[in-house]
Amino acid sequence: TLEEARARGLEARLPRTIDASECGSEGFFKSSQYLNLSWGGTRPNGVDDEDDDWIRTYDGGRRYGWATMESRGALFRLPRTGNRIQSFGAEVELGRKTRHEKFWVFDLDRQDLLCTAQIVNVAFDIEARKAILIPEEHRAELERRCQPDLL
């Protein structure tokens, strides 16, 4: 529920209002883009550059990122122009090389669930072009945010 997502501190994006430019002629959010509801908008830390989270350094300066192995979504209702929404997310499972995240997007006025998204990523050394173990300093950060009961 929206109440539980807030209580757990799972805010993935700040609240935002759906703009007409995101919608079709009938005023509904473009259905083909609904997964963007999960990660569109401003992150709570104020950083809009996804590379801040997706590309990092480890082991003396080597660069790694996250390669998507699988993503899924479920759409329950499309928001309309002017609807206020917010995305919440959590790590729900961590492997040696992988992370599994879930996202929930809520209409803030009706307090109902609009859509969900899941993504499974593998830590990927960019130069070597191979999967790597999640670096320990990043693993500790991911473990602090992990909510395995939401799997």
pLDDT in tens, 116-131: 999 999 999 999 999 9
Q: Tell me how many degrees the CA angle 134-135-136 measures, rounded to the nearest 5.
A: 110
Work out the average pLDDT over 4-33.
97
Mean of pLDDT values over 7-20 = 97
Beta bridge partners of 57: 63
Question: Per-residue pLDDT for 80 more than 90?
Answer: yes
| 7 pLDDT above the threshold of 70 | yes
CB distance 96 to 116 below 8 Å:
no
pLDDT at site 49: 54
pLDDT of 83-112, one tens digit each? 999 999 999 999 999 999 999 999 999 999
Strands (E), the chain: 16-17, 55-58, 62-75, 84-94, 98-107, 113-125, 130-131
For residue 48, the model assigns a pLDDT of 59
Residue 41 has pLDDT above 70, yes or no: yes
Is residue 80 classed as helix, strand or coil in its secondary structure? strand
Q: Which residue type occupies 96?
A: R
Average pLDDT, the chain: 94
131: CB partners within 8 A, 6+ apart: 67, 97, 122, 123, 124, 125
Q: What is the mean pLDDT of residues 143-148?
A: 95
Residues 51-65 have pLDDT tens digits of 556 799 999 899 999
Q: DSSP character for 27?
A: S
The residues pairing with 105 across neighbouring beta strands, listed in sequence order, are 87, 115
Mean pLDDT of 40-52: 72
Spell out the alpha helix ranges (H) of the chain: 2-7, 36-39, 51-54, 136-145
Average pLDDT of the residues in 135-144: 94
